[in-house]
Chain A
Amino acid sequence: MTEQKERSTGDIIHETENMSCPVQKAAHYIDAFLKELMCGKCFPCALGTHEAAIILRDIISGNAANPDIDALRRITDAMLMASRCKKGRDSAHIMTELLNDPAFIEHVRGRCPARECTSCIEYRIDPDKCIMCGDCQTVCSYHAIVGEKKVPYLSGYLPFEIASKRCTRCGECLKVCPNDAISAGERKDIMVISDS
């Protein structure tokens, strides 16, 4: 018997409650499943979930296309019908439900509606709210924030800007801004290609 208590499917889903993006939820579930729950005794589930993990990683990093979502659906359908044990079938149910969320298709277009997948979002500083205090620049370890700290009673300072090429969306600046001027938004450089 295992030394530490094995997580159940319910436990793993519970862990994803504070995530909003269904793709992130799915990826977390699959990774946990592969590490612990999966018995690995049948092909559709053992090989299928491994493949699903790869596809989900691609979707999160914005490198996926529509056929990848169809592939995910193929995997979950097969797991539902052909899995050797209940864990495989339960996982298939969970994944199918998550897949129904339109967010998956949005990710293929480069957008994460829940603004959680870092490769689909861009951090922006609202120029109206920025007080040029420089706190964000101090915590940014990637030197992605451009701007001069305002000295009191002097003028001519411009709102700070985030160099999106350097920004890794680590989220540190978001936390320290006293005025909530930094927010995650859609990437402006992604071209929206029509559904093919």
Chain B
Amino acid sequence: MRQPEVTMSNTITVTIDGKDVQVTEGMNIIDASEKAGVHIPNLCYLKGMKGIGACRLCLVEVEGLKAPVIACNTKVKEGMIIRTKTEKIQEVRRFVIDLLLSMHPLDCMTCTKAGICNLQQYAYDFGLKESSFSRKKFGYPTDEANPFMKRDPDYCVLCGRCVRVCREQGTHVLDFMGRGIGSKVVTAGDRPLQESGCTFCGSCVDACPVNALVESDRRHRGREWEYEKIGSVCLLCGNSCNILASTKDGRIEKINAGAEAGSAERYICAYGRFGFDALDAHSRVAAPLKRINGELRVTTWEDALETVANRLKLAGREAGIISSAGITNEDAFTLRKLARDVVKTKNVDSTVGLYGDGDFFISSEKADIDRSDIIVLIGLNPSQWERTLPALDAALRRRVSRGAKLIVIGESEPRIGEVATVSLKGDVMSLLRSLAKSLIEKGMKADGKFRASVENAEVTEDTVKAAAIIAEAVEPIIISAPHLFAASANLALLKGKIIAVPLESNAKGVSLMGLISDGKSYGDMVNGKTALLYAIGDVPLRQRPDTDFLIVQNAHLTPLAKQADVVLPSAAFLEATGTIVDYLGRMKHLHKVVEPYAKSMSHRDIFVGIARGIGSVISKASEAEVRKACRAKMKIRFSPFGQDVSVNMSPEEFIQTINESVIRGSRLQWLEETEGAVTA
């Protein structure tokens, strides 16, 4: 019976290579040694997953045990004395690396993995120039028919990391064929990746210790040691995954997943990994544009800002400002200052209203997926294949594989339901009421109004089963679609933390910063008439709304921008510094990876410039101001079980629309052109 991995907080002392070190009980020896600053060689170990003992490089000697044990699968105990580098063990390691070298192409000179290759590092550590065993040549063909990843089985050391990573996250594209030295990592039927259900997320590329799985264009993009590594956050969808960008000479060469090794959230999808091509796409707006005699013409920032400032000043209270929720906290806060204090309009709203309510995201609580043992998913269909909240799909599947339990509730069963312990299908409100009733019957406390509202709910075998699971949970999380948040939060009043997952990366942040309308809502401004409409960021609009003057501030020349009167070029998220608050309530930091394209400026700099044009001086949001705004809390309260917010665009359509420019302007376009490839 697998136990969920809720970290035990027992600290114990072990001795590693003569040094005493404090570690958490239950850790394996490899992780514990890392804490002591000792690296134990390994090729097949993946942090976060159980060790399989295939490579045998991690053997260590433990005092009191006759034979050496594998460090990846042995848990530390109080007082253990571990030696990681005895002569016997070093000889075995040298032997295994020697054998691997005999079946590996020895071309470190031109290999793109040089510098971060585990095999190269270990060969160096053991002083192995060449193999003392017979040379094996395989001559396997490569799989490079897609513009994302290249598979080169000749370099494969059969460690199995890619197979296990792909299987754990649920895509299961890769597997072993054959056994022993003749085995090969293949797709089903050894077909190319695009015909095998691969979503090109690149988790395998991040896992591979050698050059067998690399980005397709890696060859011409410099050597590892030439790169500067900058951590940031991807803002393309509501998952806001951590990323690690590698730059050389001011250009991005590749992007890898940036979450901590071992975390279930260590993932980025094809959009986040390969979308950076779009930073210099043809659709990028290089300079401000102004409509003169019916045509958009290039103009100076001075002219553009003056025009916009005058128009905004003129419109005053009638001005309408709509913003994407994919902008940073600093940009959102500065925008609010501009709108409220300078332009003095109440009509400021974000796209959050299209799929939820700002208040929902503010009251969404803080949680940690890596520590949760029970997860309840309500009304959501996170899918790596549709690329809607793919990181959530991967993280939840990994958690289930590591021992957590999943309960899904929805009108139809989402694909992730295949790993759920209980799947409740039907009218969501009725199911929520039934589940609430079952939980109350199990002893959860609820006030009179709550009890009364579920008194006549029907309880089924499944809801009782689900309630039993939740009742025994240590750290349950309830993850809800935003439009069902109010009802789902009722469950959190009984037990668990409630999270609303937005479709955009900073829905919580922009709501905390105050981009919630006191006047006209997003819907009102877009569907009704406005004197002036100022659209910021990637808003999902294709048609110009009924307005006398349209200003679009975005990085790309979208179909909407083409219909604008003024276009202000803004910096993309990889060109900006700032913070966001992600869906789990964490503040994440973006760091500027490359300089803004051509003449584009960050959103907040543009707002300051416009304010100046109107005659006011506002300062960009400071760290203190942002932190203060983030401290705003809203407690969840009981609300009757009824759907408040109507949704008029499906999540898949929404995410595709806001990222259209990135998809069209990068190699992601290939996904739409290739039949059989997994598209959104």
Contact = CB atoms under 8 A, between A and B. Distances in A.
B96 A54 contact: no
B283 to A, nearest CB: 50
A42 B56 contact: yes
A55 B54 CA distance: 24
Contact of A81 (B92, B103, B134, B158): B92
A62 interface: no
B59 interface: yes
Contact of A78 (B95, B102, B158): B95
A41 interface: yes
B55 interface: yes
A50 B54 contact: no
Contacts of A170: none
A81 B181 contact: no
A81 B68 contact: yes
A81 B88 contact: yes
Nearest to A81: B92
Interface string A50-85: 110011000000000001000100110110011110
Contacts of B54: 41-43, 84
Contacts of B179: 38-40, 46
Nearest to A74: B95
A32 interface: no
A43 B97 CA distance: 9
Interface in B128-181: 132-134, 158, 179-181
Contacts of B96: 43-44, 47, 78, 82
Interface string B51-85: 01111110100000001100000000000000000
B92 A82 contact: yes
B455 interface: no
Most chain A beta-carbon contacts within 10 A, residue among B52, B103, B133: B133
Interface in B90-112: 91-92, 95-96, 99-100, 102-103
A71 B99 contact: no
Nearest to B176: A40
Contact of A40 (B59, B95, B133, B180): B180
Interface residues on A, range: 20 to 34
B183 interface: yes
A47 B100 contact: yes
Interface centre among B55, B100, B102, B180 (most CB of A within 10 A): B180
Contacts of A38: 179-180
A48 interface: yes
Nearest to B96: A43
B68 A47 contact: no
B42 to A, nearest CB: 11
A51 B91 contact: no
A43 B59 contact: no
Given A42-B54, A42-B55, A78 B180 contact: no
Given A38-B180, A81-B92, A47 B99 contact: yes
A184 interface: no
Interface in A98-153: none
A167 interface: no
Interface string A179-196: 000000000000000000
A34 interface: yes
A123 to B, nearest CB: 31
B102 A43 contact: no
Contacts of A71: 132-133
Nearest to A48: B99
Contacts of B56: 42-44, 82-84
Contacts of B158: 43
A42 B313 CA distance: 73
Given A40-B179, A78-B96, A51 B88 contact: no
B181 A47 contact: yes
Contacts of A43: 54-57, 96, 99-100, 158
Contacts of A51: 99, 102, 133-134
Given A41-B54, A51-B102, 12 more contacts: A43-B57, A43-B99, A44-B95, A46-B181, A47-B100, A48-B95, A50-B180, A74-B95, A81-B59, A81-B67, A81-B92, A82-B68
26 contacts: A39-B179, A40-B180, A40-B183, A42-B53, A42-B55, A43-B99, A43-B100, A44-B99, A46-B179, A46-B180, A47-B103, A47-B181, A48-B95, A50-B180, A50-B181, A51-B134, A55-B134, A71-B133, A74-B95, A78-B91, A81-B59, A81-B92, A82-B59, A82-B92, A83-B56, A84-B53
Interface of B: 52-57, 59, 67-68, 88, 91-92, 95-96, 99-100, 102-103, 132-134, 158, 179-181, 183
Q: Which 6 A-B pairs have the closest CB atoms?
A: A40-B179, A40-B180, A47-B99, A46-B180, A82-B56, A50-B181
